[in-house]
Amino acid sequence: MAEYKHAKYLHKDDEVRLFPGDEVEDALADGWEFPKFPRSNGEEWNPEVPDDEVSAADAAAEVLKANRARQEKLDAKDAKTVASEQAKADKQKK
């Protein structure tokens, strides 16, 4: 069984963003880094999570991934609709 990769908060250019566990390595390679400062409430951004537990960040990252996939489907559907309408308009001009 593959090792579960926990979601992590990363920092770049005055922005902190949550990355799903399977995207953390790519984000680090892209210049993101682990925050070197605490949250506004004084807690760490990425506290240790036991291997057999899921953190709130993990759950939030799964929601982010699901929303991203949903938005990609909607965007593809919109692009298809626009292309179809454009083809109809082009056909009517002829």
pLDDT at 81: 87
Measured CA angle at 67 (ends 66, 70), to 5 deg: 85
Measured CA angle at 61 (ends 56, 63), to 5 deg: 100
pLDDT at 41: 95
- Asked if 7 contacts 19 with a C-beta cutoff of 8 angstroms, the reply is yes
CA atoms within 13 Å, Cβ hemisphere of 66: 6
pLDDT at 2: 60
Span 43-70, pLDDT tens digits: 999 999 887 788 889 999 999 999 999 9
- Residues in the chain with pLDDT values less than 50: 1
pLDDT at 53: 84
pTM of the model: 0.72
